[in-house]
Structure 1
Amino acid sequence: MDGKNKILDAARNVIIRNGVNGATVRAIATEADMTTGAIYHHYKNKEDLLYDLLNESLSVSSQIAKDVTDKSFSKDNIKLEIVRNTAERFHKDAENRLQYHFAHEVLLGNVDAQVKLKNKYSEWIKKIEQILIHLYGLENTRLNKAFSSWLIAAVDGVVLQYLLDVNENSIDEMMEVFDILLDEGLSSFVERLNEQEK
């Protein structure tokens, strides 16, 4: 395992054990069995390290969008990947905490965090739109970005409910609904959006 991956794994473990605030560079270095200097060789500061962990883990939509344009992947396989990755997302405790850590930083006025999150969400929205185009035949409608934003917000909202421990449904139940949404709901909604533009 290379140094950067070792650092990211260590950061993930420290966040799960001690929370985001307890994920100091020293604690991450100790977990990775490295010096703090070795951490700073790869990262300018703790926030850059944490953002890299968030980016690396929550950018699965980019890979799925790439797969969707690859003719060797069937639509059914792509949907299975979406379901699998979404279910995994609910179990990514460290990364989910990080996402809300950065959201909190933005609310406190951290402009750098806001720019990073805005860029990341723009990328995610674009990738979700590509998936909708290739899987469901979404045409170029004026509401494509809004539709993609709603889908991302739905998953983010469920993640927040689990972080706050206020969602009484099992992940299996949530995924059962998600599966129906992928199979039936999205295709109907895409059809309606496409008709609206004609």
Structure 2
Amino acid sequence: MKTKILIASAILVLYSCQNKDKTESKNIIKTIAEDTLSKTVAGTADVSEATPKDDKAVELIRKQLNVLLEKDLPAMTKNDRFFYYEAFDLNNDKKNEYFIGFSNSYFCGSGGCSGFILNNDGSVINRFSVTDFPILVTASVSEKFYDLVFETGGKFHLLKMKNGKYPSNPSVQEVWRGENPKESTSVLDINEKKLEKYSF
């Protein structure tokens, strides 16, 4: 009888030790995850070493930005060299165009931020300035491309494709009358969609 009690006690001790190790392991993992999450939300996480997403679009955009911003690169800090992008088929040709935006002091000022719209092959449709994100894609079309609505200075402006380009300065375009177009799609919603940030 004493032998059975000793064996049962030994098993109970071993089991409780194993559970303690598992609990400590879970707590360490939980602490690391919570720390990373809080730093990400606060914007203090170091994403410079993050593994880039294996994506042909990212590589295409990265390559093009290094060409388009060649003269700017020497003046930029490491923290300035990040972009966000979102793909959208603007002309229903089954190929996505790319909206590229920035959210740092090099590309943004009191009037808003600048960015690019690129074709699927990386060629520039246009460079834009003084805009607040997101950009709205409407259901109306000009020259086979959807019209866009940019917010700048607290007002919405309608941008239509003309001679293969959208206007580069939204603030001087026609003011959109009324509320946001209900049928529009939001792109480059950098704050709400929590878009991934890429280096270039």
Structure with bigger helix share is 1
Larger of the two Rg values belongs to structure: 2
Structure with bigger strand share is 2
* TM-score relative to the length of structure 2: 0.25
* TM-score relative to the length of structure 1: 0.25
**Relative CO higher for 1 or 2, CA cutoff 8 Å, sep ≥ 6?**
1
